[in-house]
Amino acid sequence: MDINKPIYLVLITGVIISSLLFASALALHIALPNMTEVVYTLALMGAAVLILTPYLRVAVALGAFLFNREYKFAILSLVVLLMMVISFISGFVFHIAP
């Protein structure tokens, strides 16, 4: 399998969904300035999709390398994914969140 393909798919899906959410937040804000809560929710959902995309991208790379039996790179992807999760968890534990 060409690993460019699944990784491209993840990235472009993240781009499309999050930009649609952001664009509708902006459009709604211009059209109906009083719907603040909905605008915020849409923008937050966009941010959530955006932030989770790189996590998914590493996970998909891991899957694609396993599928290709490129175990060296599967291990490297696993290390990256673990570091991302560990940083996230320890952010809570050590209150790194600035």
Partner 1 sequence: MAENGLETITYITGHYASRPMLEVTSQLTLLGWTFVAGFLGALMGIGGGIIIVPALTIIFGVPIKEAIAISIVTVVATSISGGSSYVEQRITNIRLAIFLETSTTIGAFIGALLVLIVSGNYLYVVFALLAFYLALSQILSVKREVKRTESNDFMNITQDRVSKYFNLRGDYFDMSINHKVEYLVKNSIIGWIVSFLAGLGSGLLGVGGGIFKVSVMNIFMNVPLKAAVATSKFMIGVTAATSAILYFVAGLLNVEYIAPAALGTMLGASVGTALMNRIRVKWLKVFFFLLMCYIGYNMLGKGLLLTLGLRLPLI
| x-marked contacts with partner 1 along 77-96 as a string, rule CB under 8 A | x-xx--xx-xxx-xxx-x-x
Whole-number Å distance between alpha carbons of 9 and 6:
5
Query: How many residues does this entry show for the chain?
Result: 98
Closest separation between CB of residue 66 and partner 1, Å?
Answer: 13
29 is an interface residue for partner 1 by CB under 8 A:
yes
Query: Residue 97 carries which DSSP code?
Result: -
State in angstroms the smallest separation of the CB of 95 from partner 1. 9
Site membership for partner 1, residue 69 (CB under 8 A): no
Rounded CA-CA distance 29/86 in Å is: 37
